[in-house]
Amino acid sequence: MTGPRMAVVGIDHRHIYTMAAHMVDAGGTLVAWATDGEPGTLPGWRDRFPDLPRRDATAILADPDIDLILTAAVPADRPALAVRAMAAGKHVLSDKPGALTLPDLDRIRDACARTGRRWEVDFSERYEVPSVTRATRLIRDGAIGRLVDITLIAPHRLNAATRPDWFWDPRRGGGILADIGSHQIEQVLHFAGADDATIEYADVDCMEHPPFQDRGRIAMRAGDVTGTILLHWFTPDGLPAWGDGRLFATGTTGTLEVRKYVDPAGRPGADHVILTDATGVRRFDASDDPLPFFGWFAATLGDPQRDHPFAVTRLAIQAQDIAERRREC
């Protein structure tokens, strides 16, 4: 089976590097790219895809031989681009956040229904992390009994000097919960096996660069599973990774910890999984586990639209709204 012919429109976030690479690995053929202006991501993009032609975005969307548009445009611009692409007959894979407001999310949903095209969001802190694949299998196989709680700690490095102007504006980049919080909300739904959840608490702080939000918290419930999410932009420069992202799963007979990107003062490399149960403690190197999302998406482009990316994005927007009503920066 031939994979989709793909083009990129919008390379404003570095996530586009791995999004494109994973879709190529899944059998897609990347044929062109477009972006507005000269974003700071441009040199890295050209280094990775030196022979790929740059075209006008309008010409890309009008090309009947292109099946799928990938985008990591400025977050506030992604919904309109997705709607435009679907109207042109293309499926869309968006970087997160896929939308920043509920009306924009409704417009994307309407476009899916009207055109029959698919819209997905690359929640890369699960889809691009092999150790989360291993954790999924262990939890699904009952390694910790019945799941009761997921706690996610997701620090990020600010790298302030490299950030574009839109990054500092919550109206264009999204607040911390709508943006990076969407990754963690997605994981709670995924591990709970739930279609929806309730946001029970959400809060943000603007400590160093207001109105930019540099700390956030969410408490949520998905069925019988509770979720706790802690986010911030204070990763110290000495850490050999952009963030010490961790997942803690508590079950009725055991616990599971995922050290996604680094094991500080511990074992080298990434993708460490630690299982504790009645028999003791076991560690797994999950760095070679697969990343099934991209192959699944490439193989199912013709399937009906699923609700999952809409549910995650809606919950992230709701959490952001709750937090901002509680505390205005």
- Name the pLDDT band for 2 (thresholds 50, 70, 90): confident
* Residue 165: partners with Cβ closer than 8 Å, 6 or more residues away: none
Cis peptide bond prior to 211, omega within 30° of 0: yes
Structural tokens at position 47: 């280094």
Order of all β-strands in the sheet with 29-34: 29-34, 5-9, 68-71, 91-95, 119-122
> Does pTM surpass 0.85?
yes
The string of pLDDT tens digits covering residues 49-67 is 999 999 999 999 999 999 9
C-alpha dist (Å) from residue 276 to 33, 131, 255, 282: 46, 16, 5, 6
pLDDT band per the 50, 70, 90 thresholds, residue 266: confident
Q: What pLDDT is stored for residue 175 in this prediction? A: 96
Rounded-to-integer distance, Cα 180 and Cα 114, Å: 29
Euclidean distance between CA atoms 44 and 301, whole angstroms:
28
Q: Considering the chain, what is the average pLDDT of its residues?
A: 97
pLDDT of residue 1: 53
Confidence of residue 311 (pLDDT cuts 50, 70, 90): very high
pLDDT tens-digit profile of 119-169?
999 999 999 999 999 999 999 999 999 999 999 999 999 999 999 999 999
CA dihedral (233, 237, 242, 245) positive or negative: negative
**pLDDT computed for residue 260 by the predictor:** 98
- Going by pLDDT thresholds of 50, 70 and 90, the confidence category of residue 25 is very high
